[in-house]
Structure 1
């Protein structure tokens, strides 16, 4: 599917932010630059399809660049990702988080990286540009709990299909489309066990010195030497390991998705 489209986005010289053609002043008063080649553009809002176009009064735009919607989407996601301050990724809940954009770890460039300030869970998101180097998630699995990749090409193909008039969306609406279609456009590359993560965290603080790996992973009833362990707030039978150490694996599997929409909601109910 081809994605050659007129430019619906440009970067504002005033704010440095990516804006939609719907937000721009008409003509050269838009004061914007092309996302791909960084040369001045004009906002054409008299045409049937509003769009940005390279300004012809600049010698630097004698040869127009190739505008890629994939590039625009990858940049927009980077711009909007910091607005996502709470989320559930796999079994991990992230609250009151901030994102680092285009950060390198173990030689791998990560589009977005965050760490929960309380639980210390970590997440990395690959946000590829056209022709980006293959993302080597294997180099990151020792340090990062959740590793995801966003299919920016499929996003572009879906939102800007050939021979169709594209809906003029703002950057915030593009990001909302991503959240609404998360399961279609985002792939999980790696996910650590929440149970394993909690075990490691408690070992570091010396809180589970008597708890065996066997009882953590398989939720067997506590052995006599484990009688001081905290029991699940839901069933009061199994040792707790999930949800910050208040719920057992069986109860989470039983109730998340049925009684509760997600793990965060269940944790709040039993706190």
Structure 2
């Protein structure tokens, strides 16, 4: 056959590169029986999350994704006591590389998701999908590196503690380990006929003032913080199972109002 004068001569380097690419794709192809890439989480209870270290990003759900297959992940978690104007949350998903002596670096982060909640206490449910953007080519066999995807939070507003309107009594008080004054808190200047009885707060170890009456139901007063669970689950999914996943993140929230937040920033301070 006559040769095409416009044809490009084959390149051995290009062919080798294409062969390497195909081999890598075959090695990373999941088992046909694997419908999910599971990264187990363990807690499904909304736990109080206080403001940490000047409101830096703090992780409340961590999934070890070392050796992950899929680039799309989905997680689900619940919330409690996200109160509009008092305790509002900002959440995100972020990927981290752990190495060395407890060192940790953020390599990818979704946009943040602001949860305003509601004006009364409600249990909320949030589902989040994300393309984690972990760079292809990480050495998953590296024994000193572990990779995680973490559910993080920080406060938009709050925490605003609630002070219950407890009853108070005007009374004398003393410490349990303080000896009682000789005749109690009442000073009797005329002990012969008891003509006068003067209430005195100058007796040793005695004080006079308003004493709060404790209610057993309020021994642990609400500190104003919101509650967020660990991730109920965190899994890697195929594109047809996580069709809404993007590099910015996508999600829905039930149990109040929510809105989009700031673009993902791997340089934000975190714990």
- TM-score range (shorter-chain normalised) is under 0.3
TM-score with structure 1 setting the length? 0.24
Name the structure where helix makes up a greater proportion of residues: 1
TM-score (norm 2): 0.24
